[in-house]
Structure formats: structure tokens, C-alpha cells
Amino acid sequence: MKLCNYDPSEQGRTYELDITKHISSANHRHSARGRGALATATKAYMIQSPHGREFLALGFEPMREPLWIFRRRITHKDRVTLEALPLIKVYLQILLEGLDYMHSQAHVIHTGG
């Protein structure tokens, strides 16, 4: 779940939902791995705070684990081993294909906000 803090204008209210719809509707012929690496909302709700303010809540499929947990799980150590390197390279390639899809097909830049 993601609770969105938004601009009070009507357009700002659904901005995050509009972006996720835009990303999911961009070029479907692009790399399936790239498109599949991006999380897009599966549900959207308006919820009200105890103070009466409305927020957009977006529901997503469970996300992938952070790279540091992934590394620890596959290597059982706090560093990358030679045995794990090919798997980590594939993981990073999929993440980069997701960014490529976002930039080149959906024309969206994630700013971390």
C-alpha cells in the first residue's frame, strides 16, 4: 500500500494513479522483463484521515526485496561472492530494463519523491 500526499487541486489528487496507469499502458511490445520489473497499482482507494482530509491509497503487488537482503540471502555473507555474481548481474539487468522502459517508452523519470 502507498498513501499519497498530494496537491489539494483535483489534478494533484490522482497524480500517482495517473502515472501508474500511464506506465502500464505504454508500449507493450517493449521488453517484457523491463515492463514487468515495474510496480503498477492494482487497486486505488480514497481514504479519509481522522481530521477529514482525503488521501489516495494505492495497492500494489508485493515488491521485491532490497538488493542488500537479496545478496545476504543468496550468499549467506555480507559480501558478494564469485558464485553469486551471475545471479546478481541478471537481477541488475532486469532493474535496468525496467528503468529503460520507464524512460524510453513511458517517458517518465522517477525522482524518488
Look at residue 97 and tell me if it is in a domain: yes
Q: Look at residue 29 in the predicted model and tell me its pLDDT.
A: 65
Do 38 and 101 meet the contact criterion of CB atoms below 8 Å apart? Answer: yes
Q: Look at residue 6 in the predicted model and tell me its pLDDT.
A: 65
Look at residue 25 and tell me if it is in a domain: yes
Q: Could you tell me the pLDDT band of residue 7, with boundaries at 50, 70 and 90?
A: low
- Domain with 31, as residue range(s), is 2-105
Predicted TM-score (pTM) of this structure? 0.61
- As a whole number, mean pLDDT of residues 31-37 equals 69
Q: Could you tell me the pLDDT band of residue 46, with boundaries at 50, 70 and 90?
A: confident
Q: How many separate domains does the chain show?
A: 1
Look at residue 112 and tell me if it is in a domain: no
Write out pLDDT tens, residues 88-108: 788 888 888 888 888 888 888
Task: Give 28-58 as a DSSP string.
Answer: TTS-HHHHHTS---SEEEEEE-TTS-EEEEE
Look at residue 56 and tell me if it is in a domain: yes
Q: Look at residue 19 in the predicted model and tell me its pLDDT.
A: 81
Look at residue 111 and tell me if it is in a domain: no
Write out pLDDT tens, residues 72-92: 777 766 666 777 788 878 888
Look at residue 18 and tell me if it is in a domain: yes
Look at residue 110 and tell me if it is in a domain: no
Q: Is 107 left (phi over 0), alpha (psi -120 to 50) or beta?
A: left
